[in-house]
C-alpha cells in the first residue's frame, strides 16, 4: 500500500507523480513491444521500462514502486491485447524479478543507479527465461542464458545512464523535495 498522510489519503502530488511514472513506463514498455525479434526468442524483451523502475526506486518508497511496476504490466497487457497470454506472463515475470533484485541492490549505497540497472537488466532476462522455461516445460531454453546475460550488460548500461541523467535532472528541479515520505 502507498503511504498515507494524516488524512488517510495518498498525497495528491505523489499520486499524480506515480500516475505519471506508470504512464511513462507504459510508453516505454509499448515501444519495446514494437521492436520485433532482437533476441532469438519471441517474448524476450529489452527491458526499457526498467528506466522508470530505477528512477522510481530513487524517488519513491519500494512498495509504491511495486505498484507502478504491477500497474504497468497489467495495463500494457490490456492495451496491447496480450493480457494473460504467454507474452504477458513473460514480461510480467521479467518486470517483477528485476524490480525485486533492483530493490535489493538499491539498499547498498555503494552501487550507483548504473549498478542497480545492471542488476535489474540481468534479473529481467533471467526472470523472462525462467517463465519461458516454465511455459514451455523445458529446461533447454536456458541455453540462451549466456546470450541474454551478455545482452544484459549493454542494456543495463543504457537504462542505467538514462535513469542517472533523469534522476539528476529531476533532483535539479527540486522535485524530490516536494515528495512527502
Partner 1 sequence: MSRHDWILLAGMMMAAALAFTLLHWWGTASQTEGLVLHVAAPAQTAAAGTENEVLEGLDGIRLEETTAAALDGMSMTRLEAAGEARYWQIQGAQGTLVLHFEPGRGIEILKAHCPDQVCVRTGFIQKAGQSIVCVPNEVIVSLQTPYKNTEKEDVDAILQ
Q: How far apart are CA 85 and CA 101, in angstroms?
A: 25
Q: How far apart are CA 132 and CA 120, in angstroms?
A: 18
Q: How far is CA 2 from CA 44, 96, 150, in A?
A: 30, 18, 36
> What residues between 65 and 124 interact with partner 1 by CB under 8 A?
108, 110-112, 114-115, 118-119, 122
Q: Please count the residues of this chain forming the interface with partner 1, following the rule CB under 8 A.
A: 22
Q: DSSP letters of 46-113?
A: --TTHHHHHHHHHHS-HHHHHHHHHHHHHHHHHHHT-TTSHHHHHHHHHHHHHHHHHHHHHT-TTS-H
Q: How far is the CB of 46 from partner 1 (least distance, A)?
A: 16
- Check binding of 36 to partner 1 (CB under 8 A): no
- Identified binder of partner 1 from the candidate list 104, 153, 165, 169, rule CB under 8 A: 153
Distance of closest approach, residue 126 Cβ to partner 1, in angstroms: 11
Q: Which is nearer to partner 1, 80 or 157 (CB)?
A: 157
For position 150 contacting partner 1 by CB under 8 A, the verdict is yes
- Beta carbon nearer to partner 1, 52 or 152: 152
d(CA 132, CA 44): 9
Contact stretch for partner 1 (CB under 8 A) within 43-51, 59-67, 72-80, 155-163: 155-163
Closest to partner 1 by CB, 75 or 157: 157
Please check whether residue 69 is in contact with residue 101, taking contact to mean a CB–CB distance below 8 angstroms: no
How far apart are alpha carbons 1 and 62 in whole angstroms? 10
Q: C-beta of 110: minimal distance to partner 1 in Å?
A: 4
Between 2 and 86, CB nearer to partner 1: 86
CB of 19: closest distance to partner 1 in angstroms?
31
Amino acid at each position: 500500500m502507498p503511504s498515507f498522510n494524516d488524512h488517510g489519503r495518498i498525497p495528491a502530488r505523489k499520486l499524480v507523480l506515480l500516475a505519471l511514472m506508470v504512464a511513462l513506463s507504459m510508453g516505454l514498455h509499448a515501444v519495446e513491444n514494437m521492436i520485433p525479434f532482437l533476441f532469438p526468442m519471441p517474448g524476450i524483451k529489452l527491458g526499457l521500462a526498467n528506466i522508470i523502475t530505477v528512477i522510481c526506486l530513487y524517488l519513491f518508497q519500494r512498495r509504491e514502486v511495486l505498484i507502478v511496476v504491477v500497474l504497468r504490466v497489467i495495463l500494457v497487457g490490456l492495451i496491447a491485447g496480450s493480457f494473460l497470454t504467454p507474452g504477458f506472463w513473460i514480461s510480467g515475470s521479467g518486470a517483477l524479478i528485476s524490480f525485486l533484485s533492483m530493490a535489493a541492490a538499491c539498499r547498498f549505497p555503494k552501487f550507483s543507479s548504473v549498478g542497480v540497472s545492471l542488476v535489474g537488466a540481468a534479473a529481467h532476462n533471467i526472470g523472462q527465461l525462467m517463465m519461458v522455461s516454465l511455459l514451455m516445460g523445458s529446461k533447454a531454453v536456458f541455453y540462451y542464458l549466456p546470450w541474454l546475460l551478455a545482452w544484459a550488460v549493454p542494456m543495463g548500461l543504457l537504462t542505467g545512464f538514462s535513469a542517472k541523467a533523469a534522476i539528476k535532472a529531476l533532483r535539479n528541479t527540486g522535485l524530490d523535495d516536494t515528495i512527502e515520505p
